[in-house]
Chains A and B, each alone.
Chain A
Amino acid sequence: KAGVTQTPRYLIKTRGQQVTLSCSPISGHRSVSWYQQTPGQGLQFLFEYFSETQRNKGNFPGRFSGRQFSNSRSEMNVSTLELGDSALYLCASSLQGGPSGANVLTFGAGSRLTVL
């Protein structure tokens, strides 16, 4: 069973550009979440999608957006990149998301973004 696949694994952008990151969840998983990991702030929640609907959003500016497609694949976009956006962006999938601990999140290897 394939795991969560994130592409690209590494990318370098310059300030002001935009970037799109992709996440393919485990087959059958309908919930996809995104997290930002930085040395200073640790792991912070960006957003969660289920059946193409955003159910929750973290405390990030509007430059950060996402979407989910009918096949559960998800993309996140960051526009007008800033130096502080340099981070590891992690995607996670689960069967349904939500409050039950049975809905365990499985993480991908991440996309490491460097903004110059």
Chain B
Amino acid sequence: GDSVTQMEGPVTLSEEAFLTINCTYTATGYPSLFWYVQYPGEGLQLLLKATKADDKGSNKGFEATYRKETTSFHLEKGSVQVSDSAVYFCAQLRGSNYKLTFGKGTLLTVNP
């Protein structure tokens, strides 16, 4: 079945460090891919998305490229801020099953 695997956390970085959170998916066909972010005590917010191979999603300095050959959608940011501290979820939406399949989430803590 469909699944999403993302790197285990927690990830702790200093402010202005480079961030990578790995994400790979298994699915038939061509799913749409998403990164969501969850701040403490809140619901999920869409961070970025890509709907087809080689698409690059970007928002607030974060980027991820849909790589079909490696079935990956790694999240990157060149310079993290303390305010980026949150849990990040990779997800896929495939075909006509009307549901998002999420990874387990990666807790990011950025220290000043």
- Which A residues have a C-beta under 8 Å from some C-beta of B? 4, 6, 31, 33, 35, 42-43, 45, 48, 50, 55-56, 58, 90, 92, 97-102, 104-110
* B94 CB-CB contact with A under 8 Å: yes
Contact A99 B102, CB 8 Å, known A90-B43, A104-B46, A110-B43 = no
Could you tell me if A33 and B102 are in contact, using CB atoms closer than 8 angstroms?
no
Could you tell me if B46 and A106 are in contact, using CB atoms closer than 8 angstroms?
yes
Could you tell me if A43 and B102 are in contact, using CB atoms closer than 8 angstroms?
yes
Could you tell me if A45 and B99 are in contact, using CB atoms closer than 8 angstroms?
yes
* B96 CB-CB contact with A under 8 Å: yes
Could you tell me if B49 and A101 are in contact, using CB atoms closer than 8 angstroms?
yes
5 contacts between A and B (CB under 8 A): A43-B105, A56-B98, A101-B51, A101-B93, A107-B44
Could you tell me if A105 and B100 are in contact, using CB atoms closer than 8 angstroms?
yes
Closest partner residue, chain B, to A97 (CB atom) = B98
Closest partner residue, chain A, to B49 (CB atom) = A101
Chain B residues lying within 8 Å of A48, measured Cβ to Cβ, are 98-99
Most buried by B among A42, A58, A99, A109: A99
* B101 CB-CB contact with A under 8 Å: yes
Chain B residues lying within 8 Å of A99, measured Cβ to Cβ, are 32, 93-96, 98
Closest partner residue, chain B, to A45 (CB atom) = B99
Known: A101-B32, A101-B33. 20 other contacts (CB 8 A): A6-B43, A33-B99, A33-B100, A43-B100, A43-B102, A43-B105, A45-B100, A45-B101, A48-B98, A48-B99, A55-B98, A56-B98, A56-B99, A90-B44, A99-B95, A102-B51, A105-B46, A107-B43, A107-B44, A108-B43
